[in-house]
Structures are given as C-alpha cells and as structure tokens.
Structure 1
Amino acid sequence: MRITVTVDGVTYSDEVEPRMLLVQYLRERLGKVGTVVGCDTSNCGACTVHLDGHSVKSCSVLAVQADGCEVTTIEGLARDGQLHPVQQAFHDNHALQCGFCTPGMIMQAIDLLADNPEPTEDAVRQGLEGNLCRCTGYQNIVRAVRDAAERMRPGAGPEVERVSEGATAHAVGGGE
C-alpha cells in the first residue's frame, strides 16, 4: 500500500506492508530512532508520538492509518537549535534518568499541557499514567511537567501551540 505522511514537517510517500506498525515505519524507514520500541504491547508509552496533534502509542497504530496525517516525533520538537520548553524542563529538572521513557513522556506531556495548561500534581500523574518509567523518576518527571507549564504560560515567554498540522512549536531556553 502507498502512504503519504508528513513527519516532522517533511512529506514522505512510501510503499508499506498493510501490517507495518507506525513505530516500525518511523524507525526503520525514516530513521526516527528517538521513537523508542519499549514493550510492543502499548503498555509502556515509550513509542508515543503525535498524530495530527494528539499523542498516540505508535506501536498500536498501523502505518497505513497515518496516511494523509501529520506525525511529530521527539526529533521534530526542537526549533532552530532550541529545545522545546518541555524538553528543556525535563533537562533542567533531571527528569530523564536512563532516558528510555523520556521521548514518550515528553510527547505525552506536551499533549497533556495542550489540554490542561495548569495541571495539578495529580493531573500530571493521571495524564502520564499510560507512560511508564522503569527508573521510578516520577517525582522529577512530574516536577518537569509542572515547570514546563509555568514556562509555557502566557506572558512567561514565547507561547507553544499544540504540535499539529500547521502549528509550530517555539522553544525557550537552550542547550542540550
């Protein structure tokens, strides 16, 4: 089957097997290896990406289901060498221990903050419940998401829209 999909702002048209998972397409065909294969059962959330602006576990989506859609991966968040505010907050709050869950956590956190720009600690924990951290770094992850919410609050700096079709994420902070 032929699909056309825009990934991190670049449009690709490829022949794919009908049973190919989106995570396989992103990693194996496009080299987007920041999208991590974790459990292959959609339990861990390490493979979370945005599909038309909403987080999905790419191990539970077929590549053909993304035909005509826009996909944003962890690699597509930084702009002009500047980290996305959520990426920067994870860095600044040491919310990345081994780093395996980090891409999925960041992608889910961005979706969470788009829906709830001022989440409580409980709301963050609930919003991330489908993403697992094996290092038990949840305290720092929750702290990072709440810090990112502060950074993204209107008047705190450049605003960040939901990363979706036609939207651009503006980064604050810098470095890696």
Structure 2
Amino acid sequence: MSKIGLYFGTFNPIHIGHLIIANYMAEYSDLDEIWMVVTPHNPLKKKKSLLDNHHRLELVYRATEEYMKIKPSDIEFKLPQPNYTVFTLAHIADKYPDKDFCLIMGEDNLKSFHKWKNYEVILEHHHIYVYPRIADGEVEHQFKNHPKIHKVDAPIMEISSTMIRKGIQQKKNIKPMLPKEVWEYIDEMNFYKK
C-alpha cells in the first residue's frame, strides 16, 4: 500500500518554499508521494486577492510537473463547502482504498490542531508529518510524543504567498521565490498587480 502525504494549502501562489517542503517530505521521509491539495475558496468569504480555483490548480500543476513524486490535487473542489479536513480524509480514503493517506502540516498548525473538527478521528486513522515553522506558543502536551505524529527535520521556510503578492503589487523582483513556470503564468495573466 503506497503512503501518500497530503499537503493542503490555498497555494496563492505556490512558491519555492512549498516545493522545498514537499520535495523534502518525498525524499527524506517514508512517504511515497506528496499530493498538493489545493483548497477551494469559501464562496461566502470571497477574498479579492485569492485567485480562482482553476488558476491556483494550474500554478500547482506547472510548479510540480517535473517532480515525479509530487502531484497536484483538486479533490476538495468536488466536496461541499465549507469543508473540514476530517471529511476530505474520509472521502479520499473511500475513493482510494489502496492508499494510506497521511497529513502534512507545519508546526504552527499542530499547535492549534486540538481545535480542528474531529481531530481525534483524524489521529485515529491517519499519521501526521510535521515540518518546523517559526511560531509562538507550545504544542499541546497530548501531541508531544504521540505515536502517529512524526516530526520531519525539513528546512525552515520563511517565504510566504502574502509576501509574494505584496511584492508583485509593489513591483519588486520576486522571481527567485517562484518556479519559473509559475512566474511566467502569473506575469502573463497579470495576477496580483492590484
């Protein structure tokens, strides 16, 4: 049974930080593949800066095309909104019974994991791979030595999609922070300029 790491995000836009983490997980953990799950925007909370789902999926597709172990996923696009991770995991496990799905999250998310809907159910059925993030606060005691939570010593990334969007608005050269194909699509489509 192949082990798939699910890396959720709005990827607005996907940047080299995301790719470095995904590739590190693919190469230095026991995960066979990483699926970059593009989170759809909540129709009730439309943010001006959030690109449409299909554009963000296209950016992830272009960014991951040359990585054999990293795949774009639109699995959440077909689920009712607003959605919770526990429902996505149930849906995806049902759809692909031959795969073992694990969650990938930053340490900052682990700190608030106890607030997630049905987090106990997630932990009962899935392993969680945690990469380091600079964040305030402590990880809940119950997660510190949990047998299903695995800390992966991936590089700490301080690049953010917010920083990239602001940089584009301010006409800064942010090209080194993006895969070439992602930058070309953003530039060609005039995204994030306003």
In terms of Rg, which structure is larger?
2
TM-score (norm 2): 0.26
**TM-score, structure 1 length as denominator?**
0.28
Instruction: Name the structure with the higher helix share.
Output: 2
